[in-house]
Amino acid sequence: MAKKEHADIISTFAELKEFKNIDNSTMLSILEESFRKVISTLYGSDDNYDFIFNPDKGDFEIWRNREVVEDNELNNPNLQISLTDAHKIAEDYEVGEEVQEKVDINSFGRRTVLNLSQILSSKILEIQKDTLYSKYSEMVGQIIAAEVYQVWKKEILLLDDLGNELLLQKSEQISTDFYRKGEIIRAVVVKVDNKSGGPKIYMSRTSPLFLERLLETEVPEIQDGLITVKKVVRIPGERAKIAVESYDDRIDPVGACVGVKGSRIQGIMRELNKENIDVINYTTNINLYIARALNPAKVTSLVIDTEKKSANVYINPDEISLAIGKNGNNIKLAIQLTGYHIEVIRGDIEIDDEDIYLNEFSDEIDEWIIDILKNIGCDTAKQVLKLTREELIERTDLEEETIDQMLEVLKAEFEQ
C-alpha cells in the first residue's frame, strides 16, 4: 500500500503541532482521542494500545499489547498472539507473557487512514476557532493596531499581527476617515460573535470607549489610578466631552489630561481626525456639573428640577451660540454627559457702573477660584455678592473657609 495516507496524517499532525495557541497536553489528548476512536471501530476495543507522541519531531507511534497463547487457543487476534507468531518477533517468548509490537498505520486501510486525517484537520479548525473566540472575547474594550487588507463599501477587513480577520463596519468609522490597503490603523474591540462560520470580531473608532482607551495610553495618572474617567460622550469626528475626577487634591485632573500646552490631548485629537475634546472636572454638584458641561459658554444662573432631571440654564446673549455649538453639538453632548435635559434661556444681565469684574481681584483671589465662580455664571463682584453664603458653597463645591475669605475681599471693596 502507498504511504501517501500515512504522510497526510504526519502532515496534519505537524500542522497541529505548529499551532502555537494550543498547549501540548490538549494537542496530545486530541490526537489520542482520534486514534482510539478509529482503533475501537476496527477492533472493538482500544484498551491494549499505547500511544507515544513526539511533538518536537512531529511524529507518533502506536504500540499494541497482546498475550502469548498456544496456537490452538487463539480466540481474539486483537488481544492475543499465537506462540508461533510471537517467536517470529523474539524466540524467547513464552505462553502468558505480553508482546508489545509497533503498529503500522498503513495497516488500518486506505479509507480509515483518510478518515483519520480528516478528523484531525477538523479538530485543528475547531480549536483555531475556539481559541480565536476566547482570545478576542477577553480583549473586548482593548485597542488593537491592525492592517487594512480590503476596503468595501459597508465595511473594512483588517488583519491583526497573526493574520486573524477583524471587521470595521462603516457605522464604526469616523466620517472623515480614509483608508488604503496596507495602512495600519487603531480601533477598539467592541464585540465578538461566535457563529457557525467562525468567530467574527468587530472593531470601532466611533465608540466612546475608543476615546477613553486613547486617553488612558496618553495619561499615566489614569493608568496609575490617580485619575478616574467618569464618563465619555462623543459625536465622532466633531466633538467630545470627558468628565474626569481625582481623589488627590494635589492633582489637577483636567490639567493632567490636557498636558503641557495641550501636548497629551493634541495627540488624541490627531488620532480622531481633529475631533474637538473638552475635558471637565466631574462633580456631584449638579448645578456646577451642568455649568461645566456647557463649556466654553458661561452660565449666568440655573434652575434645576431634579425629579424631572431638567435644567433651565440662563446665558448671556453673546454666549448662547457657544452653549449650543455647531449643529447643536455642544448642548447635545452636555445633555448626554449630565443626563439632564437642558434648556438654554436668554439671560440679559446689566452691569452697573459701580460693579467690578472678578478678574480685577486676581491679586487677592486665586485664578482657579475666579474660574469656578465664572463657571456658575458670576463674572462680577456684585453677581457673587447677590448669592447667599450657602448658595455659593452648594454651587461651587469650595471649602467654607475659602468662600468666607473670598466674600471678605469682595465686600471690603464696596465698603471702601
Give 321-327's long-range contacts (Cβ < 8 A, gap of 24+).
322/296, 322/297, 323/294, 323/297, 323/299, 325/239, 326/238, 326/239, 327/238
Residue 192 lies in a domain: yes
Cell 471702601 sits at which residue?
416
Looking at the fold, whether 273 and 392 belong to one and the same domain comes out as no
> Tens digits of per-residue pLDDT, 106-115?
677 777 777 7
Question: In this structure, what C-alpha cell is assigned to residue 112?
Answer: 480509515
- Count of beta carbons in the 10 Å neighbourhood of residue 67: 15
Please tell me whether residues 14 and 124 are part of one structural domain.
yes
Beta strands at 155-159 and 165-169: parallel, antiparallel or unpaired: antiparallel
Give 130-175 pLDDT, tens digit per residue.
888 999 999 999 999 999 999 999 999 999 998 999 999 999 999 9
Q: In terms of domains, do 35 and 95 share one?
A: yes
**Same domain, yes or no: 147 and 42:** no
Report the Cα–Cα distance between both ends of the chain, in Å, rounded.
114
Give the type of residue at 264: R
27 and 120 assigned to the same domain = yes
Q: Is 28 helix (H, G, I), strand (E, B) or coil?
A: helix
User: Does a structural domain hold residue 351?
Assistant: no
Please check whether residue 142 is in contact with residue 212, taking contact to mean a CB–CB distance below 8 angstroms: no
Same domain, 10 and 101: yes
Least confident of 126-130, 200-204, 232-236, 262-266: 126-130
- Residue for grid cell 477492533: 43
DSSP state letter for 357: B
3-class SS at 285? coil
End position of a domain, from candidates 108, 135, 162: 135
Tell me: cis bond preceding 296? Omega within 30 of 0 counts.
Answer: yes
Residue 416 has pLDDT above 80, yes or no: no
Nearest to 207 by CA among 281, 289, 275, 270: 275
Q: Are 76 and 190 in a shared domain?
A: no
Q: Based on the fold, state whether residues 123 and 191 are members of the same structural domain.
A: no
For 22-31, what is each residue's pLDDT tens digit? 666 677 777 7
156 and 172, same domain (yes or no): yes
Torsion angle (degrees, nearest 10) of CA 386, 390, 393, 399: 120
Q: Is residue 51 part of a domain?
A: yes
- pLDDT exceeds cutoff 70 at 98: yes
294 within a domain of the structure (yes/no): no
Domain that holds residue 246: 207-282
Q: What CA–CA distances, in Å, run from 103 to 35, 38, 181, 232, 348?
A: 12, 13, 52, 65, 97
Contacts of residue 115, defined as CB under 8 A and 6 or more positions apart, other chains included, come to 38
Q: Does 344 map to a domain?
A: no
Pick from 10, 60, 62: which is nearest to 36 by CA?
A: 62
Q: How far apart are CA 333 and CA 262, in angstroms?
A: 21
pLDDT for 241 beyond 90: yes
| Residue 239: count of CB within 10 angstroms of its CB | 19
Domain end residue (candidates: 204, 228, 248): 204
CATH of the domain at 86: 3.30.1480
Q: Does residue 154 lie in a domain region?
A: yes
Whether residue 105 sits in one domain with residue 148: no
Amino acid identity, residue 174? I
The neighbouring-strand residues paired with 50 are 63
CATH of residue 198: 2.40.50.140
Pick from 135, 157, 191: which residue ends a domain?
Answer: 135
pLDDT value of position 207: 96
Residue 343 lies in a domain: no
* Average pLDDT of every residue of the chain: 86
| Same domain for 146 and 37 | no
Tell me whether residue 394 is in a domain: yes
- How many structural domains comprise the chain? 4
Which of residues 77 and 38 earns the better pLDDT score?
77
In this prediction, residue 19 carries a pLDDT of: 55
Cα 30 to Cα 117: distance, rounded to the nearest angstrom: 12
For residue range 308-366, what is the model confidence (pLDDT) as tens digits?
A: 999 999 888 888 888 999 889 999 999 999 999 999 988 655 556 678 888 888 889 99
Let me know whether 71 and 158 are in one domain. Answer: no
Q: What residues does 67 pair with on adjacent strands?
A: 80, 98
- Other beta carbons within 10 Å of 14: 13
* Coil, helix or strand at residue 281: strand
User: Residue 321: enclosing H or E segment and its boundaries?
Assistant: helix 320-324
| pLDDT greater than 80 at residue 299 | yes
**CATH number of residue 246's parent domain:** 3.30.300.20
